[in-house]
Amino acid sequence: MHLVVQRNAPLSDDDAARIGALFQALDGRRIPGGGLRYTLAAGAPVHRAAIHELGRQQGLDTAVIDDFRPLSDFKLLVFDMDSTLINIECIDELADLVGRKREVARLTEQAMQSGAVDYDTSLRMRTRLLAGLPVATFESLYAERVRITPGAPALIAAARQAGLRTAIVSGGFDYFTGRVRAELGLDVDLSNHLEVADGRLTGELLGTLINADAKAGHVARMCRELGVPTSDAIVVGDGANDLKMMALAGLSVGYRPKPVVRATVNAVIDRLGLDSLLNVLGAADREGFSLPS
Contacts of 93 (CB under 8 A, 6+ apart): 101, 141, 145
Catalytic one of 13, 15, 73, 82: 82
The separation between CA 27 and the C-alpha centre of its own chain, rounded to angstroms, equals 29
Decide if 170 contacts 81 (C-beta within 8 A). Answer: yes
The separation between CA 136 and the C-alpha centre of its own chain, rounded to angstroms, equals 29
Output DSSP code: residue 49: H
* Secondary element (H or E) of residue 236: strand 233-237
SS3 25: strand
Does residue 80 have an active-site annotation? yes
Query: What's the CA gap between 139 and 199, in Å, rounded?
Result: 13
CA 47, 48, 53, 56 torsion-angle sign: positive
Does residue 82 have an active-site annotation? yes
Catalytic one of 61, 80, 232, 275: 80
Distance, first Cα to last Cα, the chain: 20
Contacts of 132 (CB under 8 A, 6+ apart): 98, 200, 201, 203
Residues designated as active site: 80, 82
